Amino acid sequence: FPEMLSNPRLVLVQGSLNVVMNQNVTLSCHSDSGSPPVTYTLFKHNWKVFTLKRPDLTPGLFNLTINSASDVGEYKCKAENNISGGGKYSNSLNFTLIEPISKPVLSSPTSQAKKGQNVTLSCLSENGSLPITYIFFKGRQSISPAVKMQKREAAVIFLFINSSSDFGTYKCRAENSFRNNTKYSNSFNFTLAEERSHSQPLIISLGLMLLLFIIGFALAIPFFIIPSYKASE
């Protein structure tokens, strides 16, 4: 007697679910039991992509090439035979497009600092598939644990400027799941902010007072000389 098909299984037999542009992948759709012949249809978000007919219960193989971002997403397959019932649907597989990251930019709200000051450093790659992992360096030594960002946001660390050695060269590194695509940022240096001497405001104040005294004395001289001159006459 004709037998209904079992739910098919959709599996990846070549490639990976994390794909790059122009990558080839192969999917297999297979019902373990049921009466042949079998028609396998591959769907992407409910749109038919391919249809294959098998005279027996051998798997249906679908070869895909990821040519654009529209080729990634969720795929399912459907198995049908001559028995009415609408067919059976498989599990889903979801492809994610992996893009290389761009060179990260290391920045800070201030480029000048003084000893005893707290500062921040931000590292951001504008392009590349998420998540992106950032690590901060001072010279060649890492100064932070790996920071994994799930959103297109900068990784931020807080630093305390404690000594002159803290004014060295800083960099950050960014990487994602794209193979062999680690990128380093520009270099960033904090410069020592000039600290005003506490005596400077006092010296300026005394100078202004002396100048005002001289001007006042010069303006007052005629009032003393003229009356004395008249009295001598």
Tell me: pLDDT of 197 over 50: no
User: How does pLDDT run across 93-133, given as a tens digit for each residue?
Assistant: 999 999 999 999 999 999 898 888 999 999 999 999 999 99
Q: Which tokens sit at 199?
A: 């005596």
pLDDT for position 46: 87
User: How does pLDDT run across 142-186, given as a tens digit for each residue?
Assistant: 999 999 999 999 999 999 998 888 888 999 999 998 888 899 999
Residue-range domain boundaries for the chain: 9-97, 105-192
In the three-class reduction of DSSP (H, G, I as helix; E, B as strand; rest coil), residue 151 is classed as coil
The overall average pLDDT reported for the chain is 88
Residue with tokens 């498989």: 90
CATH 2.60.40.10 fits 9-97, yes or no: yes
pLDDT for position 224: 57
Q: Provide mean pLDDT across the span 220-230.
A: 59
- Is 60 within 8 Å of 13 (Cβ atoms)? no
d(CA 182, CA 170): 17
Tell me: pLDDT of 82 over 70: yes
Binned at pLDDT 50, 70 and 90, residue 64 comes out as very high
Tell me: pLDDT of 199 over 50: no
d(CA 155, CA 141): 18
Higher model confidence: residue 21 or residue 61?
61
Name the percent of the chain lying above pLDDT 90. 66
Residues 6+ apart with CB under 8 A from 31: 5, 6, 7, 8, 38, 57, 79, 88
Q: How far is C-alpha 178 from the geometric centre of its chain's CA atoms?
A: 14
Tell me: pLDDT of 51 over 50: yes
How far is the CA of 171 from the CAs of 2, 121, 124, in angstroms? 68, 9, 12
Strands (E), 31-163: 38-44, 47-54, 60-66, 73-80, 88-89, 93-97, 105-107, 112-113, 117-124, 132-138, 141-142, 147-149, 155-161
Binned at pLDDT 50, 70 and 90, residue 23 comes out as very high
User: How does pLDDT run across 125-147, given as a tens digit for each residue?
Assistant: 999 999 999 999 999 999 999 99
Q: Burial letters for 106-142: b for 16+ Cβ neighbours within 10 Å, e otherwise?
A: bbbeeeebeeeeebebbbbbeebbbebbbbbbbeeee
Intra-chain end-to-end CA distance of the chain, in Å = 150
- Architecture of the 105-192 domain: Sandwich (2.60)
Matching fold, domains 9-97 and 105-192: yes
